[in-house]
Amino acid sequence: MSEPGGRFRWCPECGTRYDAGTVACPGCRVVLVADPPVAGGAPVVIHKVPDAAAGALLAGLLEHHGLRVHLRSATLPGYGNVRRDWGTTAWGELLVSPDDADEAREVISEYLSALERGGQVRDADVEGGSGAL
């Protein structure tokens, strides 16, 4: 994941700049990103995810909508199994720039409600069944 000219990496949480060899911000324990922080302000948490699969899925969904999203996990690569003190059972969280927060929340909300509707289809979908035991 080395980009030409990408000598530096930034902490998406506090905005500190590090050399490219640095994996994570020691202060925030956040994985560094290749892009400098957006001018609009620090990224905001829009959703917490229970596991890596859900995080990757939702991050991909947001990127599909043209939103830049950071997936921050409680377990940092390169730091063993250091875990943040979340106070929750969430595996990690999704962050976007403040400008994108509303749209990102809407995308996730629509996706989750669609999932719920899909989950209820199974019972309602049984029509014309002949098996009355």
Residues forming the site for Zn ion (CB under 5 A): 11, 13-14, 25, 27-28
**CB-CB contact of 31 with 76 (8 Å):** yes
Nearer to Zn ion, 97 or 108 (CB): 97
| Nearest to 12, CA basis, from 37, 29, 34 | 37
> 24: which strand partners?
31
Smallest gap from Cβ 56 to Zn ion, in A, equals 23
Cα-to-chain-centroid distance, residue 3: 22
Smallest gap from Cβ 17 to Zn ion, in A, equals 10
Smallest gap from Cβ 106 to Zn ion, in A, equals 28
Nearer to Zn ion, 11 or 96 (CB): 11
Nearer to Zn ion, 43 or 55 (CB): 43
Q: Report angle CA 105, 110, 114 to the nearest 5 degrees.
A: 150
